[in-house]
Amino acid sequence: MADEAVFEFLHMEMVAHIHREAVKDEKDQCISKLEALGFRVGQSLIERFTKECSRFKDELDTMKFLCKDFWGLVYKKQIDNLRTNHQGVYVLQDNKFKFLVQMSTGKQYMESAPKYLAFPCGMIRGALSNLGVNCIVTAEVSAMPACKFQIQIQRT
Amino acid sequence: MAACVAVIAKENYPLFIKTIPTENELKFYYTVHTSLDVVEEKISSVGKNTNDLRELYLGLLYPTEDYKVYGYVTNTRVKFVVVVDSTNASLRDNEIRTMFKKLHNAYVDMLCNPFYKLGDNITSKGFENIVKGMLQQD
């Protein structure tokens, strides 16, 4: 259990630090900075995780890997629900998201929750971009600690 | 022992090429370049047995009169190409596989270096040393 706590604390401090150090007119760049951090981490992580896997057959295969193996290795659990409209939009639902579990349930901290989802969004985007899938990832919290990640694949 | 080792990025430009010191190194560069077509053909052949598609190791790409070319593609579409001397008949498939495994491990380790930006040319001394260990000793 100890090794998971280390990353959780580091992430909390990272979010707090970036928001603390931001100059008044750069406040809105905090989320992008965190997302960019997550992007680079996601790229390296996916390279390490897919080292032993066989090749992915198609996009759905890639998303399933993301939901099961990637999520399992990073957050020690799997995604609870994966939905798709088969037109490039995937919704990943996690009912007990790692970084939100420590915050109290209820409406009090809902506004600050998105700050803690920026890094995971970036990680998903980085992981997918290294696998050759360009996408936009957004997250929303309807009820703590559950959250939904929406992945929109950009087809060129 | 290989004659030439190359790492090619997802967008098909070379990240790293190292050859044994000969007079005509360009011919290795050409060989690696032409092998890219064969690699593309192998990964996109949908009609084949699904079993082949699942492996990362591509095997012998094509033999020329002096050399044999082997390929390996990762899930992130990074390609490793190894050219070995045909006269070195003692090299078996298993040894080539272990060579690719070592290369893949070295590449992953290098990618996790925060100072390395994805897509840049590989300048890591550690990676180069691993490759030097694989090249033919004269």
- The pLDDT confidence band at residue A123, using thresholds 50, 70 and 90, is very high
Please list every residue in chain B whose beta carbon sits closer than 8 Å to the beta carbon of residue A50: 74-76
Please list every residue in chain B whose beta carbon sits closer than 8 Å to the beta carbon of residue A43: 111, 118
ipTM of the complex: 0.81
- The pLDDT confidence band at residue A97, using thresholds 50, 70 and 90, is confident
List, as one string, the DSSP characters of A79-97.
-SEEEE-SSSEEEEEETT-
| Cβ contact, residue pair A54, B43, below 8 Å | no
- The pLDDT confidence band at residue A76, using thresholds 50, 70 and 90, is confident
Tell me the pLDDT of chain B (138 aa) as tens digits: 788 889 998 888 888 888 887 777 888 888 888 888 888 888 777 434 444 444 777 777 777 777 888 888 888 888 898 888 877 656 677 888 888 889 899 999 988 888 888 888 888 888 888 888 888 664
Overall residue count recorded for chain A in this entry: 156
Would you call the peptide bond into A145 cis, given omega within 30 degrees of 0 as the criterion?
yes
| Cβ contact, residue pair A132, B114, below 8 Å | no
User: Would an 8 Å CB–CB cutoff place A48 in contact with chain B?
Assistant: yes
Is the confidence at residue A39, as pLDDT, over 50? yes
SS3 assignment, position A46: helix
Q: Where are the alpha helices (DSSP H) in chain A?
A: 2-21, 29-49, 59-65, 71-75, 113-130
Q: Taking the domains of chain B in order of start, what are their residue ranges?
A: 2-136
| Cβ contact, residue pair B75, A43, below 8 Å | no
B80 touches B71 (CB < 8 A):
yes
Mean pLDDT of A42-59: 83
Mean pLDDT of A33-46: 91
| Cβ contact, residue pair B108, A132, below 8 Å | no
Mean pLDDT of A130-140: 89
- The pLDDT confidence band at residue A124, using thresholds 50, 70 and 90, is very high
Amino acid at B110: M
The answer regarding whether domain B2-136 maps to CATH 3.60.20.10 reads: no
With a CB-CB cutoff of 8 Å, which residues 121-140 of chain A face chain B? 130-132
